[in-house]
Chains A and B, each alone.
Chain A
Amino acid sequence: MQITLRVNGVQRTAEAEPRTLLVYFLREQLGLTGTNIGCDTSSCGACTVHVDGESVKSCTMLAAQADGLSITTIEGLADGEQLHPMQRAFQENHGLQCGYCTPGMVMAAVSLLDENPTPTEQEVRLGLEGNLCRCTGYHNIVKAVLACAAEQSGSTAGSGASA
């Protein structure tokens, strides 16, 4: 069947079997391999993307269900060469090692701050419970998310806008 999505701001159309999961569609039909697969029980969160602005594990959704929707993957998060503040915070705080969980973790973290711009450490930990990482012990991931929150709430507080 033919599936049309808006991915990272670009309209994309491809053929796929009806059973194709969104994550495979992104990786194999659209060549967006930044989104990784780490499990087969929707436990690890490595495949987290944004669907119409909400974070979704892309293994929990058929590509067909995403037909007509707007998807953002890790490839579409930066503004050209300019890393997203969350990407920058991960680098500055050494929030990644092998990098495999990173795309999903970053997408989940961006979504977490969208919903709660000034989380406590415990709220970050609970908010990222569905994203597994084997390398970092989560310490620097949590630190990165809190640093990004502080930076963004600081800058948005100045402009009076809400994130």
Chain B
Amino acid sequence: MSVMGTRVQRREDPAFLTGANRYTADLDEPLLAGALHVHFVRSTIAHARITEVDVSEAAAASGVVAVYTAADTVAADDLDPFPVAIPGMIPDALARPWIAGEVVRFVGEVVAAVVAETREAAQDAAELVVVDYEPLEAVVDPVEAARDELLLFPDHGTNTALEVPFGHSGDALFEGCEVVVDRTVVNQRLAVCPLEPRAMAVTWHDGRLVVFMSTQAPHGVRNRLAGIYGLEPEQVRVVAPAVGGGFGAKINVQADEGLLPWIARRLGRPVRWAETRGESMVSMPHGRGQVLRVEIGGGRDGTVGAYRLTVLQDAGAYPSMGAFLPFMTRTMAPGTYAFPKVECNVKAVMTNTTPVEAYRGAGRPEATAAVERALDLFAAEIGMDPVEVRRKNLIAADAFPYTTPTGAVYDVGDYAGALDAALEAAGYDELRAEQRARREAGERLQLGIGVSLYVEITAGPAGNQGEYAKVTLHRDGSVAVYTGSSAHGQGHATSWAMLAHELTGIPMERIEVIAGDTDRVPEGHGTFGSRSLQLGGSAVWTATEQVVEKARQVAAELLEAAPADVVLDTDRAAFHVAGSPSVVKTWAEVGAAGDIAGPIGEAPTGQPIEAALTFTADNATFPFGAHVAVVEVDTETGRVELRRIVTCDDAGRILNPMIVEGQRHGGIAQGVAQALYEEVRYDADGNPLTANLADYAFVSAAELPAFELVPLETPTPVNPLGAKGIGESGAIGATPAVQSAVVDALAPHGVTHLDMPLTPERVWRAMTTV
């Protein structure tokens, strides 16, 4: 019986539920015996010249082994500068120093590293480090930064880190349009907030660098550290133990993390570091942070003629992955719509704030929020129902593969189908009727209804690096699956066992899944961009197919039959000659015999049967969906309550609906949180105002309703599983639906747009000032 599409419970859970799993800070490996504790001293000022760093008192404190400043890292002959994220694209002049020595550019930048025998001693001594700052004026707002009146890197001459012009045709783009709407919207900066902050433990052992780290991409970390320390990748071992969430902020190696091997080597002892939440809120990369100008033009019949999106990305103080997010935004700018003309230009600027990188969606939520806002504004301008306007412009279900004006090739989709399904489940017409009734009655609690459509890109861009898998059949008939995917909550161990079981019939409990250790899995890319099932899963699937084929040939030898006549009965997990099911060879018998070395027909050699490969897809996949949000707005206080959120999210063929729904739930919550609650805020001097979980409005269970999920499966032709990514969909679709719903509730007040988060104050002001 097929296990595909069934709700297999997670094998990972018992260890998590009993506290037996080990996160990085929990590790007590013998390799880490006697580890020193590192505590980073971080800048408390957003922009300043450092005039003096006095570490003498700290260095003399009890338990302190060393205190390092920029003077040490700059003078070190065994440490090259921290490399820029993408050499060639980001000028070296914008490289982040290991430790700030002359200028600090954001609150949270490292100014010293204290190393001590205990965590407490390191923390205490950090308080004794005296840094003299000569404050400089800070620039916090990316729009202001783009004016280049105040420069973060005067030698660079501009705050622009990256700008790629794709062409701009001015007013001509909207020629022939009866109506043109022009509006600037903000996609606010968010804190990623995996529940486990960053953590790392490092040691040098037998000439090799061994790293335990809370990361989404152990092989990427291995390669990056090998590059920094002039090692071969084989000389570095990176282990990702249990990882408490990532959401994009644990893909790369940050400067503070990258420095730990140097400290460990200098001192000849293992070192460990676990950031506090307060530290994490200013030093873990943030997400989003775009200012988007939308211009949309078309006819009064609702047909859009042209759309222009101009993206200004806040990259933070040191441009890294965040500077490249606008390219993802650009790729997905037209969304689900067949706009005849689309232009999108992008630019990333530096500000005196924490650097920005990926956060669940990474550039795509911004594209969706922009185009969905644009359509709502256009609908309001021509006085048409926003759903009607969307229908008139959707890409038709028979138009795939569909090449967009920004160069994406959408694999497959049924956008109208998703919209219909979501509207029907929500009861759209009834909701509009209730809204009318409440408006007519002048009720205090007014209803708002928001609809969004989205399409996003996963496992992209095209020509991605794929993912590695190796499947080994042991002599006892059990199987080991080695995967380059590295889970941090996604349930790969369960899903990959399902895949291997499906093809072999071997019971899932006899299938071990090995991941997150670069010594045990030689290659890999990791888990990000909603890539794992479609690349990592397809790799496991394809490698297992190869193992089955090899095993069939071995079984033919053992059965003294022609390989073409031998079949695998997965229900019995055994091979037999077609038509003669009574004589079988089990997986254990085949495993014991081993592989055949030469051409078919030669004797088995006894080597284990296995297959290793990297699966690559010819194209990215483009999951899509429709969300309907229903909010109640208290017209006296401005308080918004999300009453319902109905989502139809298509991720192609579903392997485990339980896990897919869990991914959708998590994304929806984060999407709602962006619309209503969460925002990283700074004051005008660059002081963070949301630097802990008491001040940052991290969404809780009390602010959310139960989610209403509508199923839809449109398999992709791009991979053998028919699977697309599902990790980020919820966060992409929910935000504009909820934002739109709040604006919709305020329509009688003349409101057509409000930036997020839609706090009571912002909503109340909108009602009272328009």
Contact = CB atoms under 8 A, between A and B. Distances in A.
B694 A34 contact: no
B662 A75 contact: no
Contact of B662 (A35, A41, A136): A136
Contacts of B676: none
B637 interface: no
Given A43-B692, A74-B19, A125-B704, A98 B13 contact: no
Contacts of B461: none
Interface string B235-265: 0000000111101000000000000000000
A53 to B, nearest CB: 19
Nearest to B663: A97
Contacts of A35: 19
B18 A38 contact: no
Contacts of B83: none
B195 A46 contact: yes
B491 interface: yes
Contacts of A135: 195, 245, 489, 662, 666
B28 interface: yes
B692 A40 contact: yes
Given A99-B21, A129-B700, A41 B13 contact: no
Contact of B17 (A27, A44, A96, A97): A96
How many chain A residues sit at the interface, stated as a range, is 35 or more
Interface string B155-199: 000000000000000000000000000000000000001111100
Nearest to A27: B26
Contacts of B15: 99
B698 interface: yes
Interface string A128-140: 1111111111111
A77 to B, nearest CB: 7
A129 B706 contact: no
A101 interface: yes
Contacts of B13: 90-91, 96, 99
Given A129-B701, A132-B195, A137-B667, A97 B489 contact: yes
A58 interface: no
A75 to B, nearest CB: 5
A2 interface: no
Interface string A120-160: 01001110111111111111111100000000000000000
B375 to A, nearest CB: 26
Contacts of B668: 137
Interface string B657-700: 01101100111111000000000000000000000111000101
B665 A140 contact: yes
A100 B244 contact: yes
A140 B666 CA distance: 10
A33 interface: yes
Contact of B698 (A87, A132, A137, A142): A132
A12 interface: no
A17 interface: yes
B489 A98 contact: yes
Given A75-B19, A137-B707, A142-B706, A125 B692 contact: no
Given A83-B14, A98-B245, A125-B704, A103 B19 contact: yes
B526 to A, nearest CB: 15
A160 B326 CA distance: 62
A132 B693 contact: yes
A92 interface: yes
A37 to B, nearest CB: 8
Q: Most chain-B CB neighbours within 10 Å: which of A40, A77, A97, A139?
A: A97
B10 interface: yes
A134 to B, nearest CB: 5
Contacts of B706: 121, 139, 142-143
B12 interface: yes
B488 to A, nearest CB: 5
Nearest to A121: B706
Interface string B1-29: 00000000110111111111111011010
Given A83-B14, A98-B194, A137-B704, 9 more contacts: A27-B26, A32-B19, A34-B19, A38-B196, A40-B278, A97-B491, A136-B662, A138-B704, A143-B706
Closest 3 CB pairs of A and B: A34-B19, A100-B244, A137-B669
Interface of B: 9-10, 12-23, 25-26, 28, 120, 193-197, 242-245, 247, 276-278, 488-491, 658-659, 661-662, 665-670, 692-694, 698, 700-702, 704, 706-707, 730
